């Protein structure tokens, strides 16, 4: 037998060790993209709730109300003016405004209707006190001191520092935020589980490749690396799709405008760097989650071999 | 050179009282003790179901024995850390009965797989792989995908992949099952060539014609037990030695000057 002439090796690079999946990964891509989308919405929602609560509590904390109770033989209007003056003289108060009887009636109108009130009905009057921002930030204003001064002046006045309301708002915001973060954790967990499941399935479908590589003396990390790279790319792509979609929805919601009470629950879109970073980070996190789940799945399969 | 128990001080493979079972099933292999001496060549035969494939699996490190000792290159596999196994596997080439080629990779890439897995660069091995493929008659099919090849061609790809890394042990499970006699001869010549270069070779086969072509020890498995028949040359030498010893013994017994006919058969 004559030796044939040695031909040239084929040009081009190495073939891919993992065969392209030809659409098999598409459902996984979709599910992962949806999960990333939900996770982004949950994160943006939690952030929105936090921002909203910040605004609301700071509004509440930066003002006080003095209520002037109607007492026989006293002029509530004059008492309100006196209370406003006393308040203005306190350290940290930016302004104090005594509201008129008309204002008090206007507050009642939605409940009692127009003109159903006798002119001599005794009504409590309000004095709005605004604190300057530094005092609010330091939390140094003492409503008790104001109350004491008002009592000294012999006014039938009560100071309400809104702390009850602020605490309630803060509680609600914390609840919404916790809910958002819990949702985020659940969705991230579901995404990881789905990817791990898919990695195992893909592994089972590619057991011939693993066998061949394993018996040729491939190290575990070499084989795991193949699957890890594939799933990282898959996670990255579906993460990008999910994040872009979440961003679009967020823009739509903010452009469409949402009533204040709804904004509490819906993601807000501001040109806020935090949100952009979050949306940019989501694909990367999805990719890493996918890569780690795939690696763990492959490693556990390989440990089952010798 | 024979596969008799523990005659070589440093065999490439040593089995000592090895038993193997799958799960809680019966023992498929029982009390196997043998050495594969460095550079030896042997056949493994036996009826189907006798445990040939299981024995080969033990030798190519795809399965662990249930009892007994298996050592490679003087290292006991029971105490071997897992991370050392890939390196050991690279010193073993296997031709699987069912080939186990990767259908999405070209013939060239399939053959280059062990080199790639070992971290070698394509530019360093491309010509060697091409040369080897030409040698097994597949020089013009390097870019073909395995499913487009005939059974015999696939088998040659599998053989090329097994030998490309110049393994110290070559295990072949029915390597000539799908080729014509001429190609069978050619492949056997390849194995013999590798054996001359120092590779230890074990070929599992049903083909008695193949077995007759090489004067090598034959390991026969039946009912999980292993019987080893030394090579013809060895048997002849043993017979000669026995004859000589017998003659000496008779010479010692007989009075001097007496002729004997001892040793003649």
CA neighbor of B5 nearest in space, from B228, B154, B175, B180: B228
Chains A, B: CB contacts under 8 A, how many? 94
Contacts of A16 (CB under 8 A, 6+ apart): B104
The mean predicted confidence, pLDDT, of chain A is 82
Q: What is the DSSP letter of B86?
A: H
The residue behind tokens 């594939």 is A230
Residues on chain B touching A220 (C-beta within 8 angstroms): 86
Pairwise CA distance, residues B71 & B69, whole Å: 6
Q: Which residues of A245-276 are buried (b: 16+ CB within 10 A; e: fewer)?
A: bbbebbeebbeeeeeeeebbebbbbeeeeebe
Q: Two tokens at B37? A: 């001496």
> Is there a contact between B139 and A216 if contact means CB atoms under 8 Å apart?
no
User: What is the phi/psi pair of residue B41, to 5°?
Assistant: -135, 125
Closest CB to A217: pick one of B90, B133, B135. B90
Q: Two tokens at A138? A: 């330091």
Q: Two tokens at B53? A: 């494939």
Distance from CA of B246 to the nearest CA of A (A): 48
Distance from CA of A247 to the nearest CA of B (A): 39
B73 Cβ under 8 Å from any chain A Cβ: no
Q: Two tokens at B20? A: 């193997």
pLDDT at A256: 65
Residues on chain A touching B135 (C-beta within 8 angstroms): 3-4
> Is there a contact between B114 and A19 if contact means CB atoms under 8 Å apart?
no
A29-82 tens-digit pLDDT:
898 899 889 988 888 888 877 777 777 777 778 888 888 888 877 888 888 888
pLDDT at A136: 77
The helix/strand/coil state of A90 is: coil
Q: Which residues of chain A have pLDDT under 70?
A: 1-5, 22-23, 116, 256-271
Asked if B219 contacts B45 with a C-beta cutoff of 8 angstroms, the reply is yes
Pairwise CA distance, residues B151 & B137, whole Å: 14
Residues on chain A touching B144 (C-beta within 8 angstroms): none
B100 Cβ under 8 Å from any chain A Cβ: yes
Distance from CA of B155 to the nearest CA of A (A): 15
Distance from CA of A235 to the nearest CA of B (A): 24
Pairwise CA distance, residues B4 & B219, whole Å: 10
> Is there a contact between A213 and B90 if contact means CB atoms under 8 Å apart?
no
CA neighbor of A223 nearest in space, from A303, A112, A104, A149: A303
> Is there a contact between B134 and A7 if contact means CB atoms under 8 Å apart?
yes
Chain A interface residues facing chain B, Cβ-Cβ under 8 Å? Answer: 1, 3-10, 13-17, 19-20, 208-209, 211-220, 222, 305-306
Asked if A132 contacts A141 with a C-beta cutoff of 8 angstroms, the reply is no
Does this complex have an ipTM over 0.85? Answer: no
Interface subset of B 120-139, CB within 8 angstroms of A: 122, 126-127, 129-131, 133-135, 137, 139
Kindly give the residue spans of alpha helices, DSSP state H, lying in chain B: 52-59, 85-89, 107-117, 122-135, 151-163, 181-196, 208-213, 232-253
Question: What are the strands of the beta sheet with B200-204, ordered from one edge?
Answer: B92-95, B169-173, B200-204, B41-45, B218-222, B225-229
Residues on chain B touching A302 (C-beta within 8 angstroms): none
B237 Cβ under 8 Å from any chain A Cβ: no
> Is there a contact between A213 and B105 if contact means CB atoms under 8 Å apart?
no
Closest Cα in chain A to B86: A217
CB atoms within 10 A of CB A181: 15
B206-237 tens-digit pLDDT:
888 888 888 899 999 998 899 999 888 888 88
Distance from CA of B108 to the nearest CA of A (A): 8
Pairwise CA distance, residues A129 & A110, whole Å: 24
Closest CB to A212: pick one of B82, B86, B102. B102
B146 Cβ under 8 Å from any chain A Cβ: no
Closest Cα in chain A to B92: A216
A83-97 tens-digit pLDDT:
888 888 888 888 888
> Is there a contact between B104 and A19 if contact means CB atoms under 8 Å apart?
yes
B84 Cβ under 8 Å from any chain A Cβ: no
Q: Which residues of chain B have pLDDT under 70?
A: 1-9, 254-265
Distance from CA of A208 to the nearest CA of B (A): 7
Q: Rounded to 5 degrees, what angle do the CA atoms A300, A301, A304 make?
A: 90
Pairwise CA distance, residues A202 & A25, whole Å: 9
B116 Cβ under 8 Å from any chain A Cβ: yes
Pairing of strands B92-95, B169-173: parallel
Q: What is the DSSP letter of A2?
A: P
Q: Two tokens at A190? A: 């579901």
Cα end-to-end span (Å), chain A: 42
Asked if B123 contacts B59 with a C-beta cutoff of 8 angstroms, the reply is no
pLDDT at A76: 83
């Amino acid at each position: 037998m004559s030796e044939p002439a040695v031909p040239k090796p084929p040009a081009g690079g190495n073939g891919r060790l993992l065969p392209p999946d030809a659409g098999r990964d598409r459902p996984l891509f979709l599910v992962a993209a949806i999960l990333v989308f939900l996770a982004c919405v949950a994160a943006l929602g939690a952030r929105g709730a936090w921002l909203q609560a910040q605004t609301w509590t700071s509004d509440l904390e930066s003002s006080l109300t003095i209520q002037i109770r109607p007492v026989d033989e006293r002029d509530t209007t004059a008492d309100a003016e006196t209370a406003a003056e006393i308040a203005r003289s306190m350290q940290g108060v930016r302004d104090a405004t005594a509201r008129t009887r008309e204002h008090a009636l206007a507050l009642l109108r939605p409940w009692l209707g127009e003109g159903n009130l006798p002119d001599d009905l005794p009504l409590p009057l309000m004095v709005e006190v605004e604190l300057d921002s530094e005092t609010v930030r330091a939390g140094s204003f003492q409503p008790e001191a104001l109350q004491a001064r008002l009592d000294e002046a012999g006014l039938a006045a009560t100071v309400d520092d809104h702390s009850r309301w602020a605490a309630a708002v803060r509680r609600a915001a914390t609840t919404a935020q916790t809910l958002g973060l819990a949702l985020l954790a659940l969705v991230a967990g579901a995404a990881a589980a789905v990817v791990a499941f898919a990695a195992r399935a893909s592994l089972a479908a590619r057991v011939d490749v693993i066998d061949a590589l394993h018996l040729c003396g491939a190290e575990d990390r070499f084989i795991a690396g193949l699957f890890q790279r594939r799933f990282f790319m898959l996670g990255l792509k579906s993460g990008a799709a999910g994040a872009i979609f979440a961003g679009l929805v967020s823009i739509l919601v903010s452009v469409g405008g949402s009533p204040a009470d709804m904004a509490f629950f819906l993601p807000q879109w501001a040109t806020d760097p935090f949100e952009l970073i979050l949306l940019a980070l989501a694909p990367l996190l999805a990719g890493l989650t996918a890569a780690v789940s795939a690696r763990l799945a492959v490693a556990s399969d390989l440990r089952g071999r010798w | 050179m024979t596969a008799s128990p523990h005659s070589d001080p440093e065999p490439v493979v040593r089995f000592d009282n090895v038993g193997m079972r799958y799960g809680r099933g019966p023992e498929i292999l029982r009390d196997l003790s043998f050495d594969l001496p460095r550079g030896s060549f042997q056949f493994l035969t036996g009826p189907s179901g006798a445990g040939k494939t299981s024995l080969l699996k033990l030798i190519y490190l795809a399965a662990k024995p249930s009892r007994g000792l298996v050592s490679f290159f003087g290292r006991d596999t029971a105490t071997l850390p897992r991370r050392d196994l890939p390196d050991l596997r690279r010193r073993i080439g296997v031709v699987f009965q069912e080939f186990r080629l990767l259908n999405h990779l070209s013939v060239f890439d399939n053959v280059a797989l062990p080199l790639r897995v070992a971290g070698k660069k394509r530019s360093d091995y491309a010509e060697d792989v091409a040369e080897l493929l030409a040698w097994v008659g597949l020089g013009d099919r390097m870019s073909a995908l395995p499913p487009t090849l005939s059974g015999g061609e696939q088998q040659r790809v599998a053989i090329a992949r097994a030998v490309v890394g110049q393994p110290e042990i070559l295990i072949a499970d029915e390597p000539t099952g799908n080729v014509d006699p001429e190609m069978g001869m050619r492949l056997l010549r390849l194995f013999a060539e590798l054996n001359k270069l120092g590779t230890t070779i074990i070929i599992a086969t049903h083909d008695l014609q193949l077995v007759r072509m090489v004067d090598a020890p034959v390991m026969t498995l039946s009912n999980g037990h292993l019987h080893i028949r030394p090579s013809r040359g060895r048997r002849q030498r043993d017979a000669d030695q026995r004859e000589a010893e017998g003659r000496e013994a008779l010479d010692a017994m007989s009075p001097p000057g007496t002729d004997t006919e001892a040793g003649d058969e």
